[in-house]
Amino acid sequence: MKFHPQVFMKLPVLCTFALLAAAAASHAGSFGGPPPFSDGSPLQSGIDGSYQATARGTNLTGVIRFAYQNNVQSGIPSANVYSMFVDGQVVTGGVVASITGKQLAGVLGGQDFQVPTSDSGTSELPLVFIVRGNRANGDFTGKLDLEDKMSAFSGKGSVAPAPVETNTVILIQTNSGVVGATANDVTIEPFVIPGSSITPTDFTFEGVRTSIFAQGAGGTTATTSSN
């Protein structure tokens, strides 16, 4: 049997290539394709979870939070809110966020208000209630890093003062004082809510997924880790 030393010299090189190929195959198995029901995310948990970002701009600091559950935005109001300090004023409201693949888009809504009603759901005039004067609206867009265990995301947005609103209260009352008939009294009262005075401001934001569960959705909170 003839000895071929060159074969043994090539073994370390061949072993190195084999290890690299195995590592590449393992990496491709982890991130090469998304698992089912994950909206394109290669993360095993999909896009579900609670997300939080810090917003910064000129005279602006804020926090934006939103959550996903069962591959759609969570319907829990407290899990989808924003709060910003703009030019000395604090503005708050709800967040509507859409995750489509790696793209993120959202709307910052002004603080909602409702006409006060009784326990039976009816309203009577006169009405007295307070609407905050520092309401604001806004929007944001960004991108998510779906291969990051923390689902890091970033982007830019803007916040602007809420415009003047004209609303109408319609009150329908049953008048049983008419003999032999039932009549309805209808009262229509329009009212105007002034716009707010905050300065329109652009901002940038950076955030991560803080949990794989939507806030308030039940279950044990499991904070993601970069390890």
pTM summary value:
0.67
Question: From the centroid of its chain, how far is CA 130?
Answer: 27
Neighbours of 172 (CB within 10 A): 11
Task: Give the model's pLDDT for residue 217.
Answer: 60
Give percent helix, percent strand, percent coil of the chain, each to the nearest 5.
15, 40, 45
On whether the CB atoms of residues 48 and 222 are closer than 8 A, the answer is no
pLDDT tens track of the chain, all 227 residues? 555 555 445 545 545 545 445 444 444 444 444 444 445 454 556 899 999 999 999 999 999 999 999 999 999 999 999 999 998 899 999 999 999 999 999 999 976 666 666 777 666 666 676 666 678 999 999 999 988 888 999 999 999 998 888 888 787 776 655 555 556 678 788 888 888 888 999 999 999 999 999 877 654 444 444 44
pLDDT at 127: 66
Phi, psi dihedrals of residue 39, rounded to the nearest 5°: 55, 40
Could you give the domains of the chain? 32-124+133-165+195-211 (2.40.128)
